[in-house]
Structure 1
Amino acid sequence: MDLHLSGRVAIVTGASKGIGLAVAQTLAAEGAHVVAASRKSVPELSGDIVHVPVDLMDPLAPQHLVDVAVERFGRLDVLVNNAGGPPPGVSLPRFSFTAPTDDDWRTMFEFNLFAVVRMIRAAVPALLENGGGSVVNVSSGSARLPAPMNVDYNAAKAALNNLTKALSEEFAPQGVRFNTVSPGPVRTAWWTEEGGAADILAAATGNDRDAVIEQVAPEMMKLSTGRLVEPQEIADVIALLASPRSAATTGADFAVDAGFLKQV
């Protein structure tokens, strides 16, 4: 299926690994001009992908990204707010409401909500000037499943869902669509890197990290498919939402979560 993305211009944040890298590569493969934002580049961000080294905790970074996209390609059509999860230097999961401090809460919201707010604020004028476009915010299934584990992260993503609905109401009539994609546990560095979620859960449950990834975590989170989600499975849905083929889809949340959410 032709997604009609050829020649369109997209910004993807958190693009150096995991979901963001898969999204950047998928959009580029569909013919889009991709501006990939991350603190560091990787060899996979090559070819037609333009990497911009930024730290989205810097309030000036979003406008710089938009300026690069418009100066390089003359327009902006798509924004994928993928950067999120544990803030730099933070390891998750945390197992109780009492674990995060005030500073932890502030940092979590700064990275997962306020950085997105600033990115959207910078991008909307360029999207409107071009006659509209698509914004996809990467949320989490945990936003809709309150639990004491990672309570600060869950709350930040719940706020992101609310924000996305509100922005859709305001800007969809002007041609800018806003949607969220809510992954479940995804086989990314959050889980697999040293000191990541797999190691933390392994220490808490008395298992090894491989067993956590392959069996313990899927069982603990009651994943219907019995496995973690792959980044490409998220990227495919984001590409469709970025596409004009989804012109009637706005204010929606798409769970790509291996059956994590059970609610109707």
Structure 2
Amino acid sequence: MDLKLDRRVAVVTGASKGIGLAVTRTLLEEGARVVAASRTGSPELDALACADLLHVPVDLMDREAPAHVIAEAVRVFGGLDVLVNNAGGPPPGVTLPRSSFVDASDAEWEAVFQFNLFAVVRAIRAAIPAMLERGGGSIVNVSSGNARQPSPINVDYGAAKAGMNNLTKVLSEEFGPKGIRVNTVSPGPVRTAWWTEEGRVADTLAAQAGTDRDTVMDRLVPEMMGLSTGRLAEPQEVADVVVLLASPRSASTTGAEFAVDSGFLKGL
């Protein structure tokens, strides 16, 4: 199916690995021109190098960084049609999951909100004028199942993502009549670096359970989180939904939330 993304200009944050990398790759395959924003590059992102890909190294904790990324998209590719706010998770200096709500300090709460919510607000604020100049666009915010299924071990992260979901609804109402669609994709556990890298979530849970990381990801997490499919999602499975929402093929979809979570969320 032609997603009608040929020559469209997209910004993807957190683009060097995981879901962001998969979104970047898929947009390029669909003919889009992509500005990939991340703190650093990666061999996988480098492998995508082409005339239609621009990597902008930025730290989204810097208040000026989101606007800089949008400005680069306009400068290099002439405008902006799609914004994918994918960057998220624990910012530098913050470790998730926690053992309890009381483990998170004020500084950690502020850092998590800066990275997971305020950077998104700043990116959207910068993107809207550029999209309006093109007659509209699509914003896709990558949230989390924890926005609607609260967890005491990720309480600050879940609260920030819940704010993102609320923001999506508000923006879809205000800017839908002006041609800008805003939607949310909420992954559950996904086989990304947050889980798989040494010292990250899988290792933390493995140490607590007295087992190994493969057992955690293949058996314990699917059981503990009640995953209907029995497995963690793959980044590409999330990316496919993100890119469809970015596409004009989803022209009548706005203010919606799509769970790509292996059946994690059970509520209506």
**TM-score by shorter chain over 0.5:** yes
Can you give the 5+ residue segments of structure 2 that lack an aligned partner in the other structure?
A: none
**Selected match of 2:188 from 184, 191, 194:** 184
In structure 2, C-alpha distance between the alignment counterparts of 1:51 and 1:215, rounded to whole Å: 37
Q: Percent identity?
A: 71
Q: Determine whether 1:21 maps to 2:25.
A: no
Alignment-derived partner of residue 145 in structure 1: 149
Residue identity in the other structure for 1:190: W
In structure 2, C-alpha distance between the alignment counterparts of 1:59 and 1:147, rounded to whole Å: 28
The question of whether the paired residues in 2 share the 8 Å contact of 1:91 and 1:195 is answered with no
Alignment-derived partner of residue 121 in structure 1: 125
Alignment-derived partner of residue 216 in structure 1: 220
Alignment-derived partner of residue 35 in structure 1: 35
In structure 1, C-alpha distance between the alignment counterparts of 2:124 and 2:159, rounded to whole Å: 19
In structure 1, C-alpha distance between the alignment counterparts of 2:76 and 2:43, rounded to whole Å: 21
Aligned positions, number: 264
In structure 2, C-alpha distance between the alignment counterparts of 1:91 and 1:192, rounded to whole Å: 15
In structure 2, C-alpha distance between the alignment counterparts of 1:97 and 1:157, rounded to whole Å: 16
Moved more, 29-38 or 65-74: 65-74
The question of whether the paired residues in 1 share the 8 Å contact of 2:227 and 2:264 is answered with yes
Match of 1:238, SS state, is helix
Q: Determine whether 1:61 maps to 2:69.
A: no
In structure 1, C-alpha distance between the alignment counterparts of 2:221 and 2:170, rounded to whole Å: 34
Residue identity in the other structure for 2:40: K
The question of whether the paired residues in 2 share the 8 Å contact of 1:11 and 1:80 is answered with yes
What's the CA shift for 1:72? 1.0
The question of whether the paired residues in 2 share the 8 Å contact of 1:91 and 1:197 is answered with no
In structure 1, C-alpha distance between the alignment counterparts of 2:162 and 2:98, rounded to whole Å: 17
**Selected match of 1:84 from 77, 83, 88:** 88
Alignment-derived partner of residue 246 in structure 1: 250
Q: Determine whether 1:106 maps to 2:110.
A: yes
Residue identity in the other structure for 2:147: A
Q: Determine whether 1:158 maps to 2:142.
A: no
Match of 1:98, SS state, is helix
RMSD: 0.8
What's the CA shift for 1:91? 2.4
In structure 1, C-alpha distance between the alignment counterparts of 2:13 and 2:92, rounded to whole Å: 14
The question of whether the paired residues in 1 share the 8 Å contact of 2:101 and 2:152 is answered with yes
Moved more, 59-68 or 156-165: 59-68
Can you give the 5+ residue segments of structure 1 that lack an aligned partner in the other structure?
A: none
Alignment-derived partner of residue 133 in structure 1: 137
Match of 2:168, SS state, is helix
Residue identity in the other structure for 1:76: L
What's the CA shift for 1:149? 1.8
Alignment-derived partner of residue 56 in structure 2: 52
Moved more, 90-99 or 4-13: 90-99
In structure 1, C-alpha distance between the alignment counterparts of 2:58 and 2:120, rounded to whole Å: 14
